Chain A
Amino acid sequence: MQSLKRFNWTDVFMWVVGAALLILTIIGSYLTLQQGKYTTVQWFDLAVFGLAQGSVYALIALGYTLVYGILRMINFAHGEIFMSGAYLGYFVATSMQRSGFMQENPLLGIALIFLTAMTTSAILAAILERIAYRPLRGAPRLVPLITAIGASFFLQYVFRGLFGTQNRAYPEIAYIQGAIPLFGNFQIQKIQLIVIIAAAVMMAALAFFVQYTKTGKAMRAVSEDKSVAALMGIDVDKIITRTFVIGAALAGAAGVLYCFMFRIVTFYMGFIPGLKAFTSAVLGGIGNPPGAMLGGLFLGIFESLGPTLFLDGLGIPAPYQLKDVIAFTMLVMILIFRPTGILGERLSKTKA
């Protein structure tokens, strides 16, 4: 049917813009590579960093995707759920660091940080769902979205009020510092490796959970059709709460990993990663967990390599400042030219 669609000048406009951006990207990459300012080792470092960053995005994106799959709503406050986990994890980490517990039992200490962060995020998400979202089931679509935006800012500024405005430096956990040498000049930061592995393990666990456990099956049933699921004896409200909790726990874990990498905690730290994670979810096809993982990794690498690769060759100063522009432009382009994302169904137009 697509071919029968009426000719539309706005589509032409978008095709021209898309083509121009593509050409710019190609020219930029070509020029950058030709100039040869960067060594292979540098590219490798950037790629690994991108992969680690992408793993974090992927973990957050799973929360968006799971909730979207079931409720068809974007939980705008998900970035703040991520932030809450990171914050509470930070307090546990600093106190353990100060008491020397972390130096003696690093593995137990790290496990405790994760436990705290995931629990905090999960509880906060459950409360949020109960208070803010549940009464709005069946309301017009704009209503829960605006609620979520409100909740996002509310949580951000509650944390600001509770814990202060200053940026807090995350303690340096000696156990996970340093680099592992690979062949030649190549090496990989221990933290980045841990982030990638931890994220992969958690995503595998989630995939198993959704595929094989009873709750996972119920989640899939609810996302297919709420009323039929209810007829099959599934407690829809309970499953929705569980979905929020699972997504939030992953976000909490992502918060800890993010802090390991960037070693800073602030009250607004959740906003931009939240947006990026949403972009990842859309990129992979929203409502589709494997897609979110793929989208996250892709965005992470794209964002890390992109500014240098695409823009440096064009002679743009300080291209790293523009990495968010690249990410958002990519979001827009994907929504226009492939609204289904990499793996998803077409949602942005029809169901949204």
Chain B
Amino acid sequence: MSTQNQFNWKKAIQLGAIAGIVGILIALVGMVETFDKRDIVAGAISMGWTMLLLTVLVAGYFSASHQTSNLFRLSASGITGLIFSLIMSLLALLVENFDLRQTLVNASPQLIRILTFENGIPNGLISLIAITTIFGILGGVLYVTPSKIRKAISLGLSIVVLLGLLEDIIQVTLAGLGGASSALAWMFGRGAQSGLSITGAIVVFVVVTASNLLWDVNAPKINSQVEKMPANRQRSLRVLGYGLIILVVLYLPTLLGLYLTEVVNVTGLFILMGLGLNIVVGFAGLLDLGYVAFYAIGAYAVGVLTTLSGELSTSLGWNFWLALPVCIFLCVMAGVVLGIPVLNMRGDYLAIVTLGFGEIIRILALSDFLKPHIGGSQGIVNIPAPEFLGVLLNKPQTLYYLIVAGCILALFISQRLRDSRLGRSWKAMREDEDVAQAMGINLVATKLLAFATGAAFSGLSGTILAVKLGTIYPHSFALLISINVLSLIIVGGMGSIPGVFVGGLLLAGMPELLREFAEYRLLIYGALLVVMMQVRPEGFWPEETHKRELHENEHIPAQEATS
């Protein structure tokens, strides 16, 4: 009785303190300062502040969730916000009065200026406390509002943040379209300011929120209407959809311009690797941390075979299209050779040993020992661009098609393998090796095929990278690439093919667009991996949905099994 109606002080204070520590970390790591240059809404709020406010908003939300009545909820979130603001003020005071820069490089006067809204210590602190407390309470309000409205509001806010972040890219891209640029001028403001204009932000927020609410109301109706259509109409609708997608994919480079196409290309290379690692980790459950080795082997193979520089002892000057199958074959063989030693290892051991392989390959590439053959630390230069039907694939816009072709090929192969006998063996092995073996699955062959397929995709990605850059260095193949790709498939959902695309866009595409993020890329990835494993280990686009679809009509898998 008494615990039911009491105010939960402990949780409110605890969450405030946690949020405060996170806030201090964000500030001292330098994110607030770095991201302050990028405004979300011009003159009103920067990306740096957005991160702090988001922290307190989330803390307020969770603080409210621990209380029993609405009044308690709002006051608890208020207290959480207040504690957060007090901790941040303390930080500002500390940085103001002591020179910490020898140790903490980001504890700079600039940080205080940002935290106090350029108003100096006593006055600015009041606005700091007021604003963060209000955001804490807003977190509580968000908890109290019905879930449909909450969802719509969060979506609206996310879109505003996203548009604000990508403002300069959108501007540059649309600048060529004449009419559109003037239409968008009011939204983004004129001149050199970054971020949305205030009216633009409000309009975007209202439109997105309202349309999301409307969609929520009307979606069942539209869906049922589509279902009521005759079968051939449905099919033509689907064909139309696919046609549209193909058209967009084909015209993307002309639509996007040079810079964005380059971003898409990098993302594409990561997606290609992700599709490969998805087979190894997602399907077969073999945690491979040395995946970059095959990327390197592919790139180096194409480099050695096609380079025109003549500095290597073995430069053959082959044509790219002749070298490509050889390189992929080499990668497949490398996958098998590096797979054999780890056949009997599981879990953690496999991870460490593959990581060791990745490092061995990189160190060998870097060493003086192999320098005459693969260039050592100077790498391989002067790798010619491939030619296709008389078109030299040396610009992002033309290379794009090569990468898309690679992705589509990998996508097709993964899609077909997933439901094949081999794919099902992989999944059986992932669930339990011993049981899978008892069911008659040849573990050796199944594992090696997983490694080989994964290696082929990664190698393909590597070959394209080599001709894309024209030069390869050992340091392009650091362990971080493996970690990037692993993060990508975990965030998307292990074993889920669309998940690879989601992860690729989020983790490879976004950081390319937001150059300030580059410095914090791995910090964010690390945090993301930890948080994902706790909150949503299945990823954003989990494979489970596919399983659920299969369960709706149970007879389909049964038929497959007998065939």
| Chain A residues engaging chain B, CB cutoff 8 angstroms | 8, 10, 13-14, 17, 73-74, 91, 131-132, 135-136, 139, 141-147, 149-158, 160-164, 275, 278, 282, 316-319, 321-322, 324-325, 328-329, 331-332, 335-336, 339, 348-349, 352
- The distance from the CB of A292 to the nearest CB of chain B, in whole angstroms, is 15
Contact with A along B525-555 (1 / 0, CB 8 A): 1111110111001000000000000000000
In the complex, A147 Cα to B344 Cα: how many Å? 24
Partner of A352, one of B285, B349, B520: B349
Q: A141-B348, A332-B356, A349-B346 are in contact. List 11 more A-B contacts (CB 8 A).
A: A10-B444, A142-B285, A147-B529, A152-B526, A153-B523, A153-B529, A158-B523, A282-B349, A324-B359, A324-B360, A332-B353
In the complex, A8 Cα to B448 Cα: how many Å? 14
- Taking a contact as CB atoms under 8 Å apart, the answer to whether A335 and B533 are in contact is no
In the complex, A332 Cα to B338 Cα: how many Å? 10
Residue of B nearest to A317 (CB): B368
Partner of A325, one of B363, B487, B529: B363
Partner of A145, one of B105, B287, B487, B519: B287
Contact with A along B504-521 (1 / 0, CB 8 A): 000000000000000110
22 cross-chain CB contacts under 8 A:
A13-B340, A139-B533, A141-B348, A142-B285, A144-B533, A145-B348, A146-B490, A150-B527, A150-B532, A151-B526, A153-B522, A162-B105, A282-B349, A317-B368, A321-B369, A322-B367, A325-B364, A328-B357, A332-B341, A348-B344, A348-B349, A352-B346
Asked if B347 is at the interface of the complex by the 8 Å CB criterion, the answer is: yes
Partner of B347, one of A154, A158, A322, A352: A352
Asked if B483 is at the interface of the complex by the 8 Å CB criterion, the answer is: yes
- Taking a contact as CB atoms under 8 Å apart, the answer to whether A318 and B369 are in contact is yes
Instruction: Tell me which of B26-34, B224-232, B396-404 binds A.
Output: B26-34
- Taking a contact as CB atoms under 8 Å apart, the answer to whether B31 and A161 are in contact is yes
In the complex, A162 Cα to B285 Cα: how many Å? 36
Asked if B352 is at the interface of the complex by the 8 Å CB criterion, the answer is: yes
Given contacts A141-B348, A145-B348, A154-B527, contact A91 B103 (CB under 8 A): yes
- The distance from the CB of B305 to the nearest CB of chain A, in whole angstroms, is 24
Given contacts A149-B486, A321-B367, A331-B356, contact A348 B351 (CB under 8 A): no
Q: List the A side residues contacting B343 at CB < 8 Å.
A: 10
Given contacts A151-B530, A161-B106, A162-B105, contact A14 B287 (CB under 8 A): no
Asked if B88 is at the interface of the complex by the 8 Å CB criterion, the answer is: no
Given contacts A317-B369, A349-B344, contact A161 B523 (CB under 8 A): yes
- The distance from the CB of A276 to the nearest CB of chain B, in whole angstroms, is 10
Given contacts A161-B30, A322-B363, A352-B345, contact A136 B529 (CB under 8 A): no
Q: List the A side residues contacting B487 at CB < 8 Å.
A: 150
Q: List the B side residues contacting A13 at CB < 8 Å.
A: 340
Asked if B104 is at the interface of the complex by the 8 Å CB criterion, the answer is: yes
Residue of A nearest to B494 (CB): A142
In the complex, A284 Cα to B107 Cα: how many Å? 44
Q: List the A side residues contacting B530 at CB < 8 Å.
A: 131-132, 147, 150-151, 154
Given contacts A149-B486, A152-B526, A161-B523, contact A14 B345 (CB under 8 A): no
Asked if B25 is at the interface of the complex by the 8 Å CB criterion, the answer is: yes
- Taking a contact as CB atoms under 8 Å apart, the answer to whether A136 and B526 are in contact is no
| Chain B residues engaging chain A, CB cutoff 8 angstroms | 25, 28-31, 103-106, 285, 287, 289, 340-349, 351-353, 355-357, 359-360, 363-364, 366-369, 371, 444, 483, 486-487, 490, 519-520, 522-523, 525-530, 532-534, 537
In the complex, A141 Cα to B490 Cα: how many Å? 15
- Taking a contact as CB atoms under 8 Å apart, the answer to whether B31 and A149 are in contact is no
Q: List the A side residues contacting B356 at CB < 8 Å.
A: 275, 328, 331-332
In the complex, A153 Cα to B353 Cα: how many Å? 18
- The distance from the CB of B466 to the nearest CB of chain A, in whole angstroms, is 23
- Taking a contact as CB atoms under 8 Å apart, the answer to whether A156 and B533 are in contact is no
In the complex, A327 Cα to B444 Cα: how many Å? 26
- Taking a contact as CB atoms under 8 Å apart, the answer to whether B534 and A147 are in contact is yes
Residue of B nearest to A272 (CB): B359
- The distance from the CB of A346 to the nearest CB of chain B, in whole angstroms, is 11
- The distance from the CB of B195 to the nearest CB of chain A, in whole angstroms, is 24
- The distance from the CB of A213 to the nearest CB of chain B, in whole angstroms, is 29
- The distance from the CB of B356 to the nearest CB of chain A, in whole angstroms, is 4
Given contacts A145-B351, A154-B526, contact A162 B359 (CB under 8 A): no
Q: List the B side residues contacting A316 at CB < 8 Å.
A: 369
The listed residue with most A CB atoms (<10 A of its CB), out of B104, B352, B360, is B352
Partner of B368, one of A150, A318, A349: A318
Q: List the A side residues contacting B364 at CB < 8 Å.
A: 322, 325
In the complex, A257 Cα to B244 Cα: how many Å? 63
Partner of B533, one of A146, A155, A275, A328: A146
- Taking a contact as CB atoms under 8 Å apart, the answer to whether A154 and B523 are in contact is yes
In the complex, A149 Cα to B291 Cα: how many Å? 15
Report the 9 A-B pairs with minimum CB-CB distance, sorted nearest first. A150-B529, A154-B526, A161-B29, A157-B523, A328-B356, A153-B526, A164-B105, A74-B348, A150-B530
In the complex, A155 Cα to B352 Cα: how many Å? 19
- The distance from the CB of A266 to the nearest CB of chain B, in whole angstroms, is 14
- Taking a contact as CB atoms under 8 Å apart, the answer to whether A336 and B341 are in contact is yes
